[in-house]
A and B are shown apart, each in its own frame.
Chain A
């Protein structure tokens, strides 16, 4: 009599949560309310059944019924409001295991334990649980990210969580937690554009807290899909931590809908200030020196770099500069050839300075730079980056020959670091650098992917490498690499959620 309605409600709740994960509109609110009602009804039904058994003196049956019918309904609430804040990683793990989060509950439980972990013992316990799970999947990466965040290493946590979409193993409950951490992190840094970008692309299934923060971000950035005041208050009512989020909602509502106070892009700031500073002097050399000073003092962006490079190339090629130098060389009794030597020396010093700062900011040489500074910068940035990339990919692939096995999570982190370096270099260096860098990356990456698949049985990791190489091959148009990439990516990937074909 009790089991059937309970099972129906459980199905309804899960269906509502699954539907909610696919929506970011008013339907999200509707599905959330439905899931909440189903949850409350399950709790009432389970509790009533337990009380009924108890009243019949069947306490020996009532106790297991509490575990089967009541605990799963309140497990998530206990995790969020009791076990995680209290740092009870073991209780959090087992409560999450009991909360029926879908296929492969230990994956979600591992992440929740990492979320609750505080102190060395807890970290060691969670790490041991993670190492016991093979092959690597999204839960292991997310758990590592949460452990990194707990020790204050936010950059690593961000990098690891942002890498999750590359893994085919997709636990929705794990992705929800990842999205929530990234949303809270972005809100703390007031990085509203970043959060709004994630929301617009629906990168993560949203928890009620994530959905609220995305609404706040949309109001701040003036996004077209920004929620109305009523909708934002509804999101606030659904989300946990009302006291902490109230100020965020009030602040977001102070921004008129659709207007947004988006920060001035850094590029625009630097370029405008530099331009204003040099506009007062019409001759090219003072303009170049002023642009250089503005570049040193302000934010290093592609626009400020391009402005400075062009100013120097114009100044050093200008006839008035040469005339001035020639006159002064004569007056100072400088040796013959001093003018050309001085121009060469200044161009070298400027190139050194600009390349150092461009390198630190991961910028490339401006496109179409034609003068001595532009050419020098292009050459220096390209060669330096290419050498560094090739050395890094070679070191990575050498481990295959030595059969040096790192834990799967470290293999993943190494790949992510290499991919980040590659992306930074090719973004800065453009398609030419990409075409130069790809063959080496492809050769080493393919070998590593094969090794990880055949010898290490790290299928998801290997597939992520192959997929990235295929995407790069398509960009540079390498037909041989495209063919091999398609063959590798067509393999079905064994995961804990079944075999996945991408």
Chain B
């Protein structure tokens, strides 16, 4: 299971959420996605925001209905760091001198 695709993150609920809360949240998200709400199109994960689709919401709620699959999903989500709303900033590349080789007489 990829942590970014964890059902709890896809639905935006905590691991303490009851089955009714999970179902209610899924219905709300499906409705928002159908109406094209911008807020519903992304969700936060510890690896940064990801795109959310109706298929992902349906798959997530189906996974959390199965006690065993929910147990595995909880193991990851419960112990993961807090989700991030912004993507991680990539480290700047090492300084290089483009074109130096040509300036020193070599191709290209």
Contacts and interface: CB of A to CB of B under 8 A. Distances in A.
Interface of A: 80, 84-85, 115, 118, 146, 149-152, 180-181, 184-185, 187-190, 209, 240-241, 244-245, 248, 263, 277, 285-286, 288-290, 292-293, 296-297, 325, 328-329, 332-335, 338, 341-342, 345-346, 349
B59 interface: no
Nearest to A321: B75
17 contacts: A85-B105, A115-B107, A149-B107, A151-B108, A180-B106, A181-B106, A187-B97, A209-B105, A244-B104, A245-B104, A289-B3, A292-B3, A325-B71, A334-B71, A338-B67, A342-B75, A346-B76
Interface in B54-75: 67-68, 70-72, 74-75
Contacts of B76: 289, 346
List the 7 shortest-distance A-B pairs measured between CB atoms, nearest first.
Answer: A244-B103, A334-B67, A332-B67, A188-B100, A150-B107, A286-B79, A285-B79
Given A190-B95, A328-B71, A293 B3 contact: yes
Interface residues of B, number: 30
A84 B76 CA distance: 60
Nearest to B70: A332
A293 B104 contact: no
A293 B96 contact: no
A333 B101 CA distance: 66
Interface string B1-12: 101000000000
Contacts of A286: 79-81
Contacts of B35: none
Given A85-B105, A188-B98, A190-B94, A290 B67 contact: no
Contacts, number: 103
Question: What DSSP secondary structure best describes chain A's contact surface?
Answer: helix
Contacts of B106: 115, 149, 180-181, 184-185
B49 interface: no
Contacts of B97: 187-188, 190
B67 A241 contact: no
B2 to A, nearest CB: 8
Contacts of B3: 289, 292-293
B43 to A, nearest CB: 16
Given A118-B107, A149-B107, A297-B47, A244 B68 contact: no
B100 A187 contact: yes
Interface string B38-53: 0000000011000000
B88 interface: yes
B16 to A, nearest CB: 11
A338 B105 contact: no
Contacts of B104: 184, 187, 209, 241, 244-245
Contacts of A334: 67-68, 70-71
Contact of B71 (A180, A188, A332): A332
A289 B79 contact: yes
A185 B101 contact: yes
Contacts of B75: 285, 325, 342, 346
